[in-house]
């Protein structure tokens, strides 16, 4: 009985989607090249006036105020401009942006993850080519970290404006390491596994791990794939048109992940949320936690962490296995960014808004207000960040390349095959061979769709 009422939101969503999509006439037809950004100059408009629509995925009360304050500041500086800012949550954004895209209601500025998610908009002609204003040789482009710019590059052209920098690190409790007789960060994956056994003996959960929705495990796999598979093969396989996933390094990566779960974590991880796992690290029950640099603030006193941990943690990269065939200098992470609608009548003004959002001052404000690293060079200083965040920025700049999140860099079918398969590896219902068979089938399907 109650199901019907509780499913109302689903029914409404489906109905609204159908109506919205039906309004397109033919389903989901984009219309690239009909005027808009592709045929207009993107340099700053002579007179800044008009309305800009902008959709982000930063509805979280911790992050939303920053974007509100920056857009308000732009409006104050340019009284003839109105920015209609809409912020939704991470998961709802994925639905919303697709519905907006299919119903030709895409805003002037919209959020995008790097990788295939961004490339979908590029392939459909829905993302403005920003190379002339943000290319690596332009004045604006030079203000960004080159790796961040590159993450939104497709076939040599720039389609995105990076807004934050995020990388995945293994945070560790220094007291726990000392108690377990571990002198410092392990140099290899094999050493890490050995340290996990020592930590377990000392009464700790070696690595806090919650995988309720599947993505935390995918971040491990992203890093382990980069370590075990040669970069060229990885790039070929992550491209939906050429993906095969037959390199033995992929199976090795899943096996290594299984070792991590067995020695360092628990097969119960699928039933625990990432946040609940993090709580085990915060309260000192777990010695390590694999988390994103955007989450670092949660480990500080300002972020609400207990003093015992806040004064006692450091971080390292997930160590590479010895003699791995891939790139030991790759780092899991990526910038998030904004794209400009290729059909926008106000593309130049939209670019101007994004330029304002990524000034040195606003980039520093991003770090100070919400503890995120900005891709704008020199934006993190001792005045607006804490030591670990500055170390993370230094480490990111040393990385050979970003290993972009597997669930956004590759085709969704492949990502889902990984997601489902890895959950099975954790619970013990699947082997690495099962996982890779599923991934190879998904890659074949994606290749067929890509034509």
Partner 1 sequence: MSTTLMRWRSLAWVLPALVLLLVFVYYPIVDNLRLSLFSWNAFSVAPTFVGLDNYRTAFHDPIFWTALWNNTVFAVVSLVFQVGFSLVLAALLEEFVHQRLRGILRTIYFIPAVISITVAGILFSFLYNPEIGLVNRLLGAVGLESWQHSWLGEPSTAMGSIIAMSQWQSIGYTAILFVVGIQRIPKEFHEAAKVDGAGPIRRFFSVTVPMVREMTTLIIILTVSGAFLVFNEVMVMTAGGPSDSSQVLGTWLYRNAFLNDDMGYASAIATVIFVITLAIGAVQIVVSRRRRIQW
d(CA 43, CA 166): 29
Confirm or reject binding of residue 173 to partner 1 (CB under 8 A).
no
What single-letter DSSP state applies at residue 138?
Answer: S
15 vs 51, which CB is nearer to partner 1?
Answer: 15
Confirm or reject binding of residue 26 to partner 1 (CB under 8 A).
yes
Confirm or reject binding of residue 419 to partner 1 (CB under 8 A).
yes
Bridge pairing between strands 161-173 and 153-154? unpaired
Residue with tokens 């090249």: 33
- To the nearest whole angstrom, how small is the minimum distance from the Cβ of residue 106 to partner 1? 10
- To the nearest whole angstrom, how small is the minimum distance from the Cβ of residue 352 to partner 1? 27
Q: 132-138: long-range contacts (C-beta < 8 A, 24 or more apart)?
A: 132/42, 132/43, 133/42, 133/43, 133/351, 133/355, 134/158, 134/161
Rg over alpha carbons for the chain, rounded to the nearest Å, is: 22
- To the nearest whole angstrom, how small is the minimum distance from the Cβ of residue 253 to partner 1? 18
Q: Identify whether the C-beta of residue 45 lies closer than 8 Å to the C-beta of residue 327.
A: no
Confirm or reject binding of residue 439 to partner 1 (CB under 8 A).
no
28 vs 184, which CB is nearer to partner 1?
Answer: 28
- To the nearest whole angstrom, how small is the minimum distance from the Cβ of residue 432 to partner 1? 14
15 vs 308, which CB is nearer to partner 1?
Answer: 15
Q: Residue 338 phi/psi, 5° resolution?
A: -120, 145
Q: Identify whether the C-beta of residue 446 lies closer than 8 Å to the C-beta of residue 411.
A: yes
Confirm or reject binding of residue 61 to partner 1 (CB under 8 A).
no
Confirm or reject binding of residue 383 to partner 1 (CB under 8 A).
no
Cα 33 versus chain centre, distance = 29
Kindly tell me which residue out of 142, 267, 302, 433 binds partner 1, with binding defined by CB under 8 A. 267
Q: Which of 425, 411, 418 is nearest to 119 (CA)?
A: 411
- To the nearest whole angstrom, how small is the minimum distance from the Cβ of residue 302 to partner 1? 26
Confirm or reject binding of residue 437 to partner 1 (CB under 8 A).
no
116 vs 327, which CB is nearer to partner 1?
Answer: 116
Confirm or reject binding of residue 101 to partner 1 (CB under 8 A).
yes
Confirm or reject binding of residue 200 to partner 1 (CB under 8 A).
no
Q: Residue 187 phi/psi, 5° resolution?
A: -90, -15
DSSP of 41-82: --SPPSS--EEEEEEES--STTTHHHHHHHHHHHHHHSTTEE
Here's the x/- map for partner 1, 207-246, by CB under 8 A: it reads as ----xxxx--------------------------------
Bridge pairing between strands 330-340 and 161-173? antiparallel
270 vs 388, which CB is nearer to partner 1?
Answer: 270
128 vs 366, which CB is nearer to partner 1?
Answer: 128
**Span interacting with partner 1, options 66-74, 79-87, 266-274, 364-372, rule CB under 8 A:** 266-274
Residues 6+ apart with CB under 8 A from 403: 222, 223, 225, 226, 330, 331, 332, 333
d(CA 188, CA 323): 10
* 397-416 residues near partner 1, rule: CB under 8 A: 412-413, 416
Q: Which of 204, 207, 194, 126 is nearest to 159 (CA)?
A: 126
Is residue 314 exposed (0-12), middle (13-18) or buried (19+ Cβ within 10 Å)? middle
Residues 6+ apart with CB under 8 A from 350: 52, 108, 109, 340, 341, 344
Confirm or reject binding of residue 88 to partner 1 (CB under 8 A).
no
176 vs 376, which CB is nearer to partner 1?
Answer: 176
Residues 6+ apart with CB under 8 A from 388: 296, 299, 300, 313, 314, 315
Kindly tell me which residue out of 30, 109, 148, 409 binds partner 1, with binding defined by CB under 8 A. 30
- To the nearest whole angstrom, how small is the minimum distance from the Cβ of residue 91 to partner 1? 9
Here's the x/- map for partner 1, 102-141, by CB under 8 A: it reads as x-----------------xx-xxxx---------------
**Span interacting with partner 1, options 6-14, 80-88, 156-164, 304-312, rule CB under 8 A:** 6-14
- To the nearest whole angstrom, how small is the minimum distance from the Cβ of residue 197 to partner 1? 20
- To the nearest whole angstrom, how small is the minimum distance from the Cβ of residue 384 to partner 1? 34
**Span interacting with partner 1, options 14-22, 44-52, 142-150, 182-190, rule CB under 8 A:** 14-22
* 290-349 residues near partner 1, rule: CB under 8 A: none
Q: Identify whether the C-beta of residue 216 lies closer than 8 Å to the C-beta of residue 209.
A: yes
For the record, the structure tokens of 36 come out as 């808009």
- To the nearest whole angstrom, how small is the minimum distance from the Cβ of residue 174 to partner 1? 24
Confirm or reject binding of residue 155 to partner 1 (CB under 8 A).
no
Binding site for partner 1 (CB under 8 A): 1-4, 6-7, 9-11, 14-15, 17-19, 21-22, 26-30, 32, 94-95, 98-99, 101-102, 120-121, 123-126, 211-214, 266-273, 276, 280, 412-413, 416, 419-421, 423-424, 426-427, 429-430
């Amino acid at each position: 009985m109650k199901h019907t009422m509780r499913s109302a939101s689903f029914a409404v969503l489906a109905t609204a989607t159908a109506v919205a999509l039906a309004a397109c006439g033919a389903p989901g037809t984009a219309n690239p090249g009909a005027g808009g950004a592709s045929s207009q100059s993107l340099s700053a408009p002579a007179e800044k006036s008009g309305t800009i629509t902008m959709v982000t995925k930063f509805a979280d009360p911790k992050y939303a105020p920053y974007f509100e304050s920056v857009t308000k500041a732009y409006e104050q500086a340019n009284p003839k401009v109105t920015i209609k800012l809409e912020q939704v949550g991470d998961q709802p954004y994925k639905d919303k942006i697709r519905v907006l895209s299919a119903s030709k209601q895409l805003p002037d500025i919209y959020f995008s993850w790097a990788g295939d998610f961004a490339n979908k908009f590029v392939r459909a002609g829905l993302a403005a080519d920003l190379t002339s204003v943000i290319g690596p040789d332009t004045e604006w482009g030079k203000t960004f970290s080159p790796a961040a710019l590159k993450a939104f590059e497709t076939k040599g052209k720039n389609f995105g404006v990076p807004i934050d920098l995020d990388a995945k690190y293994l945070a560790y409790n220094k007291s726990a390491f000392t108690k377990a007789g571990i002198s410092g960060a392990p140099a290899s994956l094999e050493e890490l596994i050995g340290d996990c056994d020592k930590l377990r003996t000392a009464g700790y959960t070696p690595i806090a791990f919650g995988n309720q929705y599947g993505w935390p495990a995918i971040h491990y796999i992203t890093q382990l794939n980069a370590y075990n598979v040669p970069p060229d093969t990885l790039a070929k396989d992550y491209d939906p048109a050429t993906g095969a996933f037959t390199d033995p390094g992929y199976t090795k990566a899943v096996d290594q992940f299984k070792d991590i779960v067995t020695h360092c974590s628990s097969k119960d991880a699928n039933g625990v949320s990432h946040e609940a796992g993090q709580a085990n690290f915060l309260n000192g029950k777990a010695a390590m936690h694999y988390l994103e640099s955007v989450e670092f603030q949660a480990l500080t006193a300002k972020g609400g962490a207990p003093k015992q941990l806040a004064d006692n943690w450091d971080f390292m990269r997930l160590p590479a296995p010895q003699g791995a065939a891939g790139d030991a200098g790759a780092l899991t992470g990526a910038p998030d960014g904004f794209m400009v609608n290729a059909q926008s009548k106000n593309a130049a003004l939209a670019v101007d808004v994004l330029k304002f959002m990524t000034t040195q001052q606003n980039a520093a404000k991003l770090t100070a207000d919400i503890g995120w690293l900005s891709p704008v060079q020199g934006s993190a200083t001792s005045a607006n960040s804490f030591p670990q965040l500055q170390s993370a920025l230094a480490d990111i700049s040393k990385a050979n390349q970003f290993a972009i999140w597997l669930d956004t860099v590759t085709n969704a079918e492949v990502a889902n095959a990984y997601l489902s398969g890895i959950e099975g590896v954790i619970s013990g219902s699947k082997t690495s061979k099962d996982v890779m068979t599923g991934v190879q089938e998904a890659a074949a399907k994606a290749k067929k769709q890509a034509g």
